[in-house]
Amino acid sequence: MKTNNPLKSIVLKTVLFLMFLFLTLYSNGQTKNPNYDEPLAKSLGADDYGMKMYMLVILKSGSNTNVSKTTKDSLFAGHMTNMVRLEKLNKLVVAGPFGDNQNDFRGLFILNAASIEEANELLETDPAIKAKLLKPEVYPWYGSAALPQYLKDADKIWKNNF
């Protein structure tokens, strides 16, 4: 790396020093997880940050308000049965109702779906949605790929069914 031009030598040394500095700072700035489990991460579809894309569904009150109590009860029983089916297919990750609110939000789902289109196909299997008792709004959501893991214990902690 010898050169007869002193300016060229200074520039070359400066560039090499800056490259060394950048590589040192960059490699030290990266945090490696000592607990990283590659097979688990791959099985869950995790990216390098342990995250993945899901579809967040906000269920709002639908436009159909003219149904009998018997019909409504039947449709919501089908809604609950469908949720169990989707969970068994590893498609429903989180579900639950909202408390009283001014936005007309009734419940939410987090679906293990790759696209809004796939989420809509899954939602079309819900009797309460088909009957327009519930209206879904679907949004892509980036969250922990380990989120479905909680389901392994979810069935062990409730005393009474809805």
pLDDT in tens, 27-51: 555 678 888 999 999 999 999 999 9
Q: Is the pLDDT reported for residue 93 higher than 80?
A: yes
- The pLDDT score that the predictor gives to residue 33 is 84
- The pLDDT score that the predictor gives to residue 64 is 95
Average pLDDT in the 98-110 region? 96
* Residue 162 to residue 127: CA distance in whole angstroms: 17
E strands, the chain, in order: 51-61, 92-97, 105-111, 134-144
Nearest to 57 by CA among 26, 29, 34, 79: 79
Average pLDDT in the 102-118 region? 96
User: What HEC string does 86-130 produce?
Assistant: HHHCCCEEEEEECCCCCCCEEEEEEECCCCHHHHHHHHCCCHHHH
pTM for the predicted model, two decimal places: 0.76
Task: Please tell me which residue, 45 or 13, carries the higher pLDDT value.
Answer: 45
Convert the pLDDT of each residue in 51-91 to its tens digit: 999 999 999 999 999 999 999 999 999 999 999 999 999 99
| Token pair of 8 as six digits | 């060229």
